[in-house]
Amino acid sequence: MPRTTARSRAAKTRRQPTRGNATQAALAERILGWLRQQDLKPGDHVPERLATEAFHVSRTPVRGALTLLTTRGLLERRDQRGYFIAAGFDAADQPAAVETPETTLHDAILRDRFSKRLDAEVTAAHLARRYHASRAVVLRVLGRLQKDGVVERALGQRWVFLPALDSLRSQEDSHRFRLILEPAAFLQPGFALDARRTRDLKAALGELARQDARHFDLKRALDADIAFHEAIADACNNRFLADAMRQQSRLRRFATTSMQVPPARLIESCREHLAILEAAEAGDFVRAAELMREHLAASLRARPGFVNRGAPPMLRAALMGAR
Amino acid sequence: MPRTTARSRAAKTRRQPTRGNATQAALAERILGWLRQQDLKPGDHVPERLATEAFHVSRTPVRGALTLLTTRGLLERRDQRGYFIAAGFDAADQPAAVETPETTLHDAILRDRFSKRLDAEVTAAHLARRYHASRAVVLRVLGRLQKDGVVERALGQRWVFLPALDSLRSQEDSHRFRLILEPAAFLQPGFALDARRTRDLKAALGELARQDARHFDLKRALDADIAFHEAIADACNNRFLADAMRQQSRLRRFATTSMQVPPARLIESCREHLAILEAAEAGDFVRAAELMREHLAASLRARPGFVNRGAPPMLRAALMGAR
DNA sequence: AATTGTATTTTTGTGCTAGAAAATACGTCA
DNA sequence: TGACGTATTTTCTAGCACAAAAATACAATT
How do the pLDDT tens digits run along chain B, 323 residues long?
333 333 333 333 334 445 667 889 999 999 999 998 888 999 999 999 999 999 999 999 999 999 999 999 999 999 999 999 999 888 766 666 778 889 999 999 998 998 889 999 999 999 999 999 999 999 999 999 998 889 999 999 999 999 877 777 888 899 999 999 999 999 999 999 999 889 999 999 999 888 887 777 888 888 899 999 999 999 999 999 999 999 999 888 877 655 667 778 888 899 999 999 999 999 999 999 999 999 999 988 876 554 444 444 444 444 444 33
Q: Which residue is nearest to nucleotide C12 (CA to C1')?
A: A157
Measured between alpha carbons, how far is B34 from B56 in angstroms, rounded to an integer? 14
Give the pLDDT of residue A257: 58
Nearest to B61 among A155, A170, A188 (CB): A155
Who contacts B320 (Cβ-Cβ below 8 Å, separation ≥6)? B297, B300, B301
Out of B160, B170, B176, the one facing A56 most closely (by C-beta) is B160
Question: Is the minimum CB–CB distance between A218 and chain B shorter than 8 Å?
Answer: no
Q: Which residues pair with A46 in a beta bridge?
A: A83
Burial zone of B212 (CB within 10 Å; 0-12 exposed, 13-18 middle, 19+ buried): exposed
Chain A CB contacts of B30 below 8 Å = 155
Kindly give, in sequence order, each residue whose CB lies less than 8 Å from that of residue A59, ignoring residues fewer than 6 positions away: A48, A49, A52
Looking at chain A from residue 43 to 102, which residues have their Cβ under 8 Å from any Cβ of chain B? 55-58, 61
Nearest nucleotide to A156 by CA–C1' distance? D22
Plot region of B142 (φ>0 → left; ψ -120 to 50 → alpha; else → beta): alpha
Q: Which of residues 180-209 of A touch strand D (CB under 7 A)?
A: none
Write out chain A residues lying below 8 Å of B143, CB-based. Answer: 143
> Cβ contact (<8 Å) for B189 and A155?
no
Is B312's Cβ below 8 Å from some Cβ in A? no
Q: Rounded distance, CA B134 to CA B140, Å? A: 10
